[in-house]
Amino acid sequence: MNIQIPDHISAIKRYQPGKTIPQLQEEFGWEKVAILWNNENTLGYSPKSKDAVVNAYDSINYYPDPISADLREKLSERIGRPTEQIVLGNGSESVLMLTIRALCSGDDEFLTSGGSFVIVYNWARINNVRCVSMPLTESYGFDLEAIKSRINRNTKIIYLANVNNPTGTMITKAELGDFMQNVPDHILVIVDEAYFEFSESLHKDFPNSLEMDYPNLLTLRTFSKAYGIAGVRLGYAVGNEKIIESITKTKLTFEPTALAQAAGLGALDDTDFLKKTIENNKEGLKYFTSELSRLDVQFVPSYGNFIMTVWKDQQEVDKVFNELMKKGVLVRPLAGSLEHCIRISVGRPEENEHFIHSLESI
């Protein structure tokens, strides 16, 4: 084959999926299973969301609404921002990729922190944009001072995850406000609030970036976590109308799908399910912190729906991960600068207990 693949694509490592749950079940013969590796909502999803999808299925022979008018209108009412400042896509990571595609060219740089959402770095590279990562702080948070000091004439986008996945650390309202005041207004600051519904219930000073009046701030949110519909892929961005218009130009014409739009509409209608999810997470994190402390396992306080444990080295991480898998507990060993850490999602009470009992036994 003589077709030349661009260097920036050749350099990217392709996602390597592991074995499926049924394959692992057959291999290990688990009696109990706790799927705690992808920060999903193991409580499930809203029945109203399911009903909306079932009803929408009758019209899937037609293309979906290309501007997601109904869902944008409902989101507008919920978050208090006009529809012109909202764009939807196939998950918030898709909207992030579209933003990079829409805004970056030439020598533009994408500035962020190491030890954050792993796909972020790939989206920059896929779009042939230089990604600059500053180290995390000693407490595993974004080092905002280091990021500010690295801004140069090529900086086009700064990405902040609040809370940060996989470490669970947060940027406070005061810290984010000070940061925004010191960033030049020609640089777009993306604040990824994928875990916002959990975070605002866990800390009184957790910032809602939608309430900050900066034209160079873009907020990302998702339906994959608290709303429990990760499988349909639905996320959105809120920001300045000029930025939103540019992002809209780069997305697929019929993104997101009709079923995803319906799922989102149904999910927004079910506040009871959302409250149940948030309460389950609060109790789960409380249980994890208490039990991990009892077992003398080091962890980082979290403001998401997961917790990061800290071990001696990667060898110890591999041992713990493999032993937990044998017992039907699936957790996420981390890579790169966090290879000595394991992230555990909050599950249902019985899943959380299965994890702790399994960890104690090894």
Contact 331, 342 (CB under 8 A): yes
Residue 9 pLDDT = 85
**Is the Cβ–Cβ distance between 211 and 246 less than 8 Å?**
no
The answer to whether the beta carbons of residues 197 and 305 sit under 8 Å apart is no
Cα R_g (the chain), whole angstroms: 21
What single-letter amino acid sits at 15? Y
Instruction: Report the relative pairing of strands 235-238 and 298-300 from DSSP bridges.
Output: unpaired
The pLDDT of residue 1 = 72
pLDDT score at 10: 85
- Inter-residue contact 228 to 277 (CB < 8 Å): yes
CA atoms of 296 and 92, how far apart (whole Å)? 36
Q: How would you label 73-110 residue by residue, b for 16+ Cβ within 10 Å and e otherwise?
A: ebbbeebebebebbbbbbbbbbbbbbbbbbbbeeebbb
Identify the pLDDT of residue 235: 98
252, 225, 173, 238: which is closest to 345 by C-alpha?
A: 225
Half-sphere exposure of 137 (CA within 13 A, CB side): 14
User: Which CATH code is given to the segment(s) 18-44+272-361?
Assistant: 3.90.1150.10
CB-based contact 268:70 (threshold 8 Å): no
284 DSSP assignment:
H
Tokens 């706790």 correspond to 34
pLDDT at 119: 87
Low-confidence ranges of the chain (pLDDT < 70): none
- Every domain of the chain and the residues it spans: 18-44+272-361, 47-269
Q: What is the pLDDT, as a whole number, of residue 233? A: 97
From the candidate CATH numbers 1.10.357.10, 3.40.50.970, 3.40.640.10, 3.40.50.1700, the one assigned to the domain spanning 47-269: 3.40.640.10
